[in-house]
Structure 1
């Protein structure tokens, strides 16, 4: 989560710097006030309370879905506009709200695309190594519901009870052809990958990580060649817009490595909020009322928000979605395997 947060913050900071270099918001500088949620829902709620007291015009960011849900609930209760950058959990709030909008695609949208990729690749016996959180349970349910009518089965392996070597035995016993990592990284994802890669009985099994763990450099650093050929969801187009290409180069210089899709989400968040602030000022209610009128050219296409069935917040429907992996011949290069 630390690496994802670093990329998200880099995108946010770059966009703020560019807004201010262009004259700010009606002549006033845009200030980014940062609080670290540390992947903790309680810390997130406390941060929202503090930022609201400080008088911020709007809330931005958050990568972790469970944490974003806590932030969204508190922002909704306080009447603080929240543009969520990266979290995908469908039920970001318990009830429909006017205060929250989201850039990332809903989990149900992206993970159905991933399920289609699995079927197209010939996988119908799927095992998931899962941890017991709302996010992972939601993902497993989406996969199961989408695959079952198409002849697919999903076996859930409870990682509270299984060691990585025991996962290998379960995969062999159930003749699974794909293992999906619905777990945190690096623990226990990295030990699971190492165990499966070293088990000769599982030489043909595909390892997947729909939540995007292999996107970040730490994955390749820890796993080397073992971390290649692990398909994951990535929210980038096949070709970035001209703005996206320029921003990508600036982010690469800022991060000293290739920017992840999360960095682009951070940049786009500020691009949207800056446009809203220029047009509607800093009044919180007016900002929230502006979500359906947003039309901003972002790094990955034009951003508009709408009400989407089953989604409780204003949603960009939809950002581009790819299934990619790291090329075994060149692990720093990504291969596009499927486009949603």
Structure 2
């Protein structure tokens, strides 16, 4: 007796990989999910995809690459048209590799590691900028501010190691120096001693938050010998409200990268208001990345259908108005995925006079 075939889902399924529990960066995950959910709601309010609603199938990665790869397997088995999301670069890399192996389209929302895949692939595209692009802009900011003796405090990670290499190469070519300090080997107090010894003019936090970033910032801020040092966080730790809640005034004046325009157009203004209402706080760039991801996929699905190969084949033909500008994908040297080149990039900090207000220090 033949088993009846499973009827197709009345919805178009989109898989979503999001860090929602520790050790994942939960605040970033919450903002990313808010953007994804708002995007799906607006697509459905406008009639869905050929009359079928989009349905977001969310899986928590908890910053675990193996968990993310398993989630891609599961989502592929459920028949998703594409997988999207993820914030952590090492997790997104595992998801991209599995999506490529299975032939599932993956549109990465927020992870920036250049080598998202080991080899070029047609299955993966990315809305976030590559790390090399943003971090070089950050290095230019440091040089422009006269901070050419840079110390980086790091933890073991492909992402942090890549960032250290990018900074060292870019600064060295312009007369700057980079010294690397191990967050796992030094107490915050010993770190302060090392900064004094090296004559560092800037300390960059290439570490997780709140641990060990918060105690490091407190120790440096409390050390009179380091009153003139610049503390920076290119990965964006100060973007989220939890940073300000933990550190208060000590967390202000810490420049970081974010991917927003200086002035939003009407679409960005409208989406920003909706995201603010949904989150109960100002949306981060990560929330906008989530919305833009869904906008791209909705356009692709409407124009090219829900077959995975058709979705992946559409990356070079994408032309979508996102919240932060027109989105198109191209091949970029050194990057093996279809890349939006580039979203707007800013170096921003929290104003020491008003820590809830952001100051734009540099754009690229």
TM-score by length of 2: 0.93
2:107 is the counterpart of 1:72: no
Q: 2:171 aligns with which of 147, 152, 157?
A: 147
Residues in 2 aligned to 1:134 and 1:185: alpha-carbon distance in whole angstroms: 17
Structure 2 counterpart SS, 1:334: strand
Residues in 2 aligned to 1:241 and 1:51: alpha-carbon distance in whole angstroms: 35
Q: 1:274 aligns with which of 298, 320, 323?
A: 298
2:258 is the counterpart of 1:231: no
Residues in 2 aligned to 1:163 and 1:311: alpha-carbon distance in whole angstroms: 37
Residue 96 of structure 1 corresponds to: 120
Residue 346 of structure 2 corresponds to: 322
Residues in 1 aligned to 2:193 and 2:238: alpha-carbon distance in whole angstroms: 24
Post-superposition shift, 1:241?
A: 1.8
2:210 is the counterpart of 1:186: yes
Residues in 2 aligned to 1:251 and 1:60: alpha-carbon distance in whole angstroms: 19
2:290 is the counterpart of 1:288: no
Deviations 1:69-100 (A, max 9, x none): 00000000000000000000000000000000
Residue 184 of structure 2 corresponds to: 160
Residue 196 of structure 2 corresponds to: 172
Residue 51 of structure 1 corresponds to: 75
Higher relative contact order (CA 8 A, sep 6+): 1
Residues in 2 aligned to 1:245 and 1:312: alpha-carbon distance in whole angstroms: 33
Q: Runs of 5+ in structure 2 lacking a partner?
A: 1-24
Structure 2 counterpart SS, 1:141: helix
Residues in 1 aligned to 2:54 and 2:148: alpha-carbon distance in whole angstroms: 50
Q: 2:331 aligns with which of 288, 307, 310?
A: 307
Post-superposition shift, 1:194?
A: 0.3
Deviations 1:111-163 (A, max 9, x none): 00000000000011000000110000000000000000110000000112111
Residue 13 of structure 2 corresponds to: none
2:146 is the counterpart of 1:130: no
Two-structure CA RMSD over aligned residues (Å): 0.4
Residues in 1 aligned to 2:285 and 2:148: alpha-carbon distance in whole angstroms: 29
Residue 120 of structure 1 corresponds to: 144
Residues in 1 aligned to 2:78 and 2:264: alpha-carbon distance in whole angstroms: 36
Structure 2 counterpart SS, 1:115: helix
Residue 105 of structure 2 corresponds to: 81
Deviations 1:157-183 (A, max 9, x none): 011211111110000000000000000
Structure 2 counterpart SS, 1:173: helix
Residue 24 of structure 1 corresponds to: 48
| Structure 1 segment 243-262 matched on structure 2, within 5 A | 243-262=267-286
Residues in 1 aligned to 2:117 and 2:251: alpha-carbon distance in whole angstroms: 34
Tell me which stretches of 4 or more aligned residues in structure 1 moved more than 2 Å. none
Residues in 1 aligned to 2:289 and 2:246: alpha-carbon distance in whole angstroms: 25
Residue 6 of structure 2 corresponds to: none
2:25 is the counterpart of 1:6: no
Residues in 2 aligned to 1:15 and 1:45: alpha-carbon distance in whole angstroms: 24
Deviations 1:214-242 (A, max 9, x none): 00000000000000000000000001121
Q: 1:211 aligns with which of 229, 235, 244?
A: 235
Q: Runs of 5+ in structure 1 lacking a partner?
A: none
Residues in 2 aligned to 1:44 and 1:325: alpha-carbon distance in whole angstroms: 32
